Structure 1
Amino acid sequence: MGKVLLLVLTLLPVAAPKGSHSLWMLATYIKGQTPFPEFSYVAMLDDITVMYYNGETRTFIPRGNTTTEDDMFDSNIILIISDDIHGQFMDRWGIAKKNLNETDRAIALQKLVVCELRDDGEPGQMITRDAVSGSTTDELRYVDKNFTYQGHLDVSTQVLNIHLEIGMRRHESFYQPLCIKALKGYLEKRRNQINRKVKPRVRLIKKANSDSGGSRVSCLATGFYPRHINLTLFRDGQPVCDHEITGGDLLPNGDGTYQMRKSLEISADKHKYSCSVTHLSLDNKLDVTLEFDPGEPFKSVIPSVLIVLALLLVFGTGAVLYKYKRRRAASSKGDYSSASTSEESIDTKSTHEAEEEVTQMS
């Protein structure tokens, strides 16, 4: 399962330009033993999953919708397109299996289709990309009525030109208008989700790096939405060069927000470090200065150690008091028992003496 999910992530398109929106579909055809259907696809509006198609049951399943969206697609047309994509997968499978080893238990063929709507309301680029086991094999781009191809079609130039001409006509008259119509419809239906803004939480921290013997300064921005963000590290007020920085990848959080971290290796110096963040949720840029962090593992141990010490102190004090009380009780009981035994002995002796005196008098 992890391998298939990794393939999905490697096929994600480059983020659409700021202000634009995209609708994309990722179809997957799997041969082998996996927990997934043989054929399925997901449809997404920007980074929000809006629909899932199960090829085994031939059913469309809405995802995360709070409104009626039955009018987004003509189901008959979508089924025709799905059957066409499935047929393409079957053809590609016949070619791909010739190059497989017997040790390959499963193979995934994938197709990515994405269309964009620019911020001026006009259609942007449309991309169709094919891949086998996570490696892109073919890519078609349709931008401003220009059609380009990159891939490995083993055909003559004449056949390739015919292939491109047919593809351009299909995209121009059918695929792009259908995709843009659905994209606009989803933007209307899901505008609250798409337009929501969540401010980032930003920290600039410094940790010791045991590997290099120096330290690492990291700027972390997390919990923000939408995904577009600018994060810059500064040294003495000047931006740090990109070749010195590691990280910077945009990563998803489990709650639908995002995070980004940029780090810089430093030695023992006296430079001043800061971090600046700009995001759609912020009226102005957010600047933070360096704070020392002894390290997450050490920080996480401190509360536990304090709790254990407190418990030891409480239970230790209780145990000492308990033993002290028991000793005092035992000591008091011993004194009382000794005194009682002595009195009993005296009484017994007096009784015998009295009996002897009575006998003598008789």
Structure 2
Amino acid sequence: MIVADAARGSSTDELSYINNTFTYTVAVNIKQELIKPHLEKFKQDFAKTFYPVCITTLKNYLKKRRDQRNRKVTPNITLTQKANSDSGESRVSCLATGFYPRHINLTLFRDGQPVSDHEITGGDLLPNGDGTYQMRKSLEISADKHKYSCSVTHLSLDNKLIIELEDEPFRRRIGVVVAVLLLVCAISGILAVVCMRKGRREDRDFRGSPNLMM
């Protein structure tokens, strides 16, 4: 607690109580007999009124907020890339949502190095309707071969959480290749079954022909 007096735009004296210790600083020539009553009155007011009221109010507040203080909710993290058809660029966004308490560290990385703040948009802490919070950071990128990731540290997490951005075009190419292979396998299987059935039918016809009976 600090009480300061000032006159003509400058401080004259300051009385403070920190860590159970009173200190008094004076910047003008004030006689001791004028300082001592002021100091004693402040000590009495603090000991009888300010300190008990502050401590009692704080304890009651912390008691009411006990469940809230102990609450920990793990954030849900998503790292996405969305193309802009007009500009030909893409936006990489890292979203952390549904976490509590509110303090969180969210960082975007390019090839393992933090992206500078002047390239990042967003980063504001926003409340959700259920009492949790969310934060989003985005980065505009051109067609490149960089690898992007997002790291999150939060009180609810034991370790730093790192999410890597998957290569969507590569995934699509792999998906097309797998689909073609499955189609080829399916057609091969059908042809094999047809050939087997045709061979069995021809064998039965050959055994039952009159020439074979003679």
Q: Same fold (TM over 0.5)?
A: yes
| Distance in 2, Cα, partners of 1:146 & 1:245 | 43
Cα distance, 1:177–1:231 mapped onto 2, change above 3 Å: farther
Q: Is contact 1:219-1:233 (8 Å) kept? A: yes
Matched, 1:224 2:99: yes
The CA RMSD measured in Å over matched residues stands at 3.4
CA distance in 1, matches of 2:139, 2:64: 43
Map 1:134-213 to 2 at 5 A.
Answer: 145=2, 156-157=8-9, 161=12, 173=46, 178-209=53-84, 212-213=87-88
Distance 1:275 1:148 in 2: 51
Note the C-alpha offset of 1:211: 6.6
1:252 to 2:106 alignment: no
Give the Å deviation of 1:241.
1.4
Any conservation in 2 of the 1:227–1:258 contact (CA below 8 Å)?
A: yes
Alpha-carbon separation, structure 1, partners of 2:58 and 2:86: 49
Give me the TM-score of the superposition, normalised by structure 2: 0.55
CA distance in 1, matches of 2:9, 2:99: 48
Partner of 1:278 in structure 2?
Answer: 153
- Segments ≥4 residues shifted beyond 4 Å: 145-149, 174-177
Q: How does 1:12-27 map to 2 (within 5 A)?
A: none
Tell me the distance in 2 between the aligned counterparts of 1:147 and 1:253: 41
User: What TM-score results when the alignment is normalised by the length of structure 1?
Assistant: 0.34
Question: 1:191, CA displacement in angstroms?
Answer: 1.1
Conserved? CA contact 2:153–2:159, under 8 Å: yes
Once the two structures are TM-superposed, the CA of residue 184 in structure 1 deviates from its matched residue by 2.4
Unaligned runs of 5+ in 1: 1-141, 150-154, 294-362
Q: How many residues align?
A: 141
Give the 3-state SS of the residue equivalent to 1:249 in structure 2: strand
* 2:3–2:15 CA contact under 8 A, matched in 1: no
Which residue of 258, 263, 275 maps to 2:138? 263
CA gap of 1:179–1:236, structure 2 versus 1, over 3 A, is same
Cα deviation code 1:53-102 (max 9, x no counterpart): xxxxxxxxxxxxxxxxxxxxxxxxxxxxxxxxxxxxxxxxxxxxxxxxxx
CA distance in 2, matches of 1:223, 1:258: 6
- Three-state SS of the structure 1 residue aligned to 2:57 is helix
Distance in 2 of aligned mates of 1:246 and 1:220: 12
Corresponding residue for 2:30? none
